[in-house]
Amino acid sequence: MDSPLARLERHARERALEVALVERAGDGWSRLTWNELYRRVIDGAAGMIEAGVNPGQVVVLRVPTGARQVELELAVRVAGAVPLLLPEHMDPAEVGRLLDEVEVRLVVVDQESRLALLRQAALLDAQLFECDDRSWERLRAMGLDRRKRQPDLLAWVDRARSDAPSGAVLGLTREKSHAWLFRPESSGLLSDLRPDDVVLLTGEATDRFTTVVRDAHLGAGCLLAWVEGPDQLEAALAHVRPTHVLLDHTAARVLEDLVEAGTVDGAPWHETPREVLDATSAQVAGAKLASRARKLADEVVALAPWWGGRLRVLALDARVNRTVSALATTFGLRIGRVAHHPAVRLDLGAEHAVVAVPAPAAVEVAAATSLPRRGRGGAELDSAFSLTT
């Protein structure tokens, strides 16, 4: 499989102005094209290298669901480092044990409160980066400057890490034993995604389901709209009109309730939605219905606009119940399946060696007291990006 950098370059070249990412922004929606995503990622990756991150080191990401998570995760991968995502429900003591076994170079958070999960980790050699909009822009500016001074930087990293896995690593809580680190893999529906597909995804960044979907999005070059909670699903359906809806286990379990309470153009799609859903399920199951029940089953067509108008595939990271199955049959939807491969314990410390990135060639300039100064030295992270004092 092509590297993340190669895939990004291909999409930026072939689909430059096509939308890559859509996310909720206040009362509206924001989007990034493939060209914009590519530029932000390569500058972010070079900025991390400029700040002292070397290929093979680990970067812990703790930022909200959405485009910033995608940007940072890809930037870490293009920089040759390993993105590590830790679920919020993990025991801090287990987190500390896991992180003490790997070489963490950078911890990225959007606010200091997200550091609570890491309070028992030593992180002696790690720097902390509070990634708000302004500091992310500054880091990308550092990366752009580094790429100007060293144009082959990311290509060198790509070659140096060509034989190493680059996918995100997750923490896995285990009931009767210590937590693991693992790299999620899957098969099934995601290999069929195409560039003209529009994918609507729900779930947290640290979920294995959303992680494999994000990687499939990078491979396919399709549009990805990503919302975290089920409460955002209806608005996203109306806005992006997806061809594929991929629901994590949380949203999948409440999909029937969401459909029952759904609205079309601001009004309930039916006066008695529960009765319509029950009648539809019975009809699809082949039950003998009275005339009123048959009439109710026919009225399920009023729900069709709720799905956005062009939905083809519905995939749930949970068991598909009778009602959802009946709706899929009625509307001609394919029930897709994402098969998770068994989690395999990962020893990040032994997986690959850390590689030092060559420094850019020195540029000689005439001495002048008026030249601007960067205000930093060495390979350490710029203090402007650190939470440490």
Residue of 176 and 293 predicted with greater confidence: 293
pLDDT at 247: 97
Burial level of 191, CB count in 10 A (0-12/13-18/19+)? exposed
User: How many residues does the structure list for the chain?
Assistant: 389
Distance CA 33, CA 320 (A): 34
Q: What is the per-residue pLDDT for 38?
A: 98
* Average pLDDT rounded to a whole number, residues 301-322: 95
Per-residue pLDDT band for 357 (boundaries 50, 70, 90) equals: very high
Asked which of 48-52, 202-206, 267-271, 364-368 is least confident by mean pLDDT, the reply is: 364-368
Q: How far apart are CA 256 and CA 262, in angstroms?
A: 10
Residues in Cβ contact with 334 at an 8 Å cutoff, skipping those fewer than 6 apart: 312, 313, 314, 328
pLDDT in tens, 196-240: 999 999 999 999 999 999 999 999 999 999 999 999 999 999 999
Q: What pLDDT does residue 353 have?
A: 80
Give the residues across from 61 on adjacent strands. Answer: 108
Amino acid sitting at position 38: Y
pLDDT attached to residue 176: 78
pLDDT tens-place string over residues 244-257: 999 999 999 999 99
pTM of the full predicted structure? 0.90
- Which pLDDT value is given to residue 351? 75
Mean pLDDT confidence for 64-86: 96
Return the SS3 of 142. Answer: helix
Residues 242/257, Cβ–Cβ less than 8 Å: no
Residues 12-32: pLDDT tens digits? 999 999 999 999 998 899 999
Place of tokens 């690593």: 169
- What is the model's pLDDT at position 174? 85
Q: Where are the beta strands (DSSP E) in 209-336?
A: 223-227, 244-247, 263-264, 267-268, 313-316, 334-336
Closest CA to 264 of 322, 303, 219: 303
Q: For the chain, give the percent of residues with pLDDT over 90.
A: 78
User: Residue with structure tokens 């190669």?
Assistant: 6
pLDDT at residue 382, as a whole number: 47
Given the DSSP bridges, would you call strands 104-109 and 244-247 parallel, antiparallel or unpaired?
unpaired
Predicted local distance difference test score (pLDDT) of residue 125: 85
Question: What value does the mean pLDDT of the chain take?
Answer: 91
User: Is residue 129's pLDDT more than 70?
Assistant: yes
**Predicted local confidence at residue 363, as pLDDT:** 65
pLDDT per residue as tens digits for the range 42-72: 999 999 999 999 999 999 999 989 999 999 9
Contact 136, 75 (CB under 8 A): no
Q: What does the pLDDT read at residue 354?
A: 86
Q: Does residue 163 register a pLDDT over 90?
A: no
The CA R_g of the chain, rounded to the nearest whole Å, is: 24
Q: What span, in angstroms and rounded, lies between the C-alpha atoms of 223 and 152?
A: 29
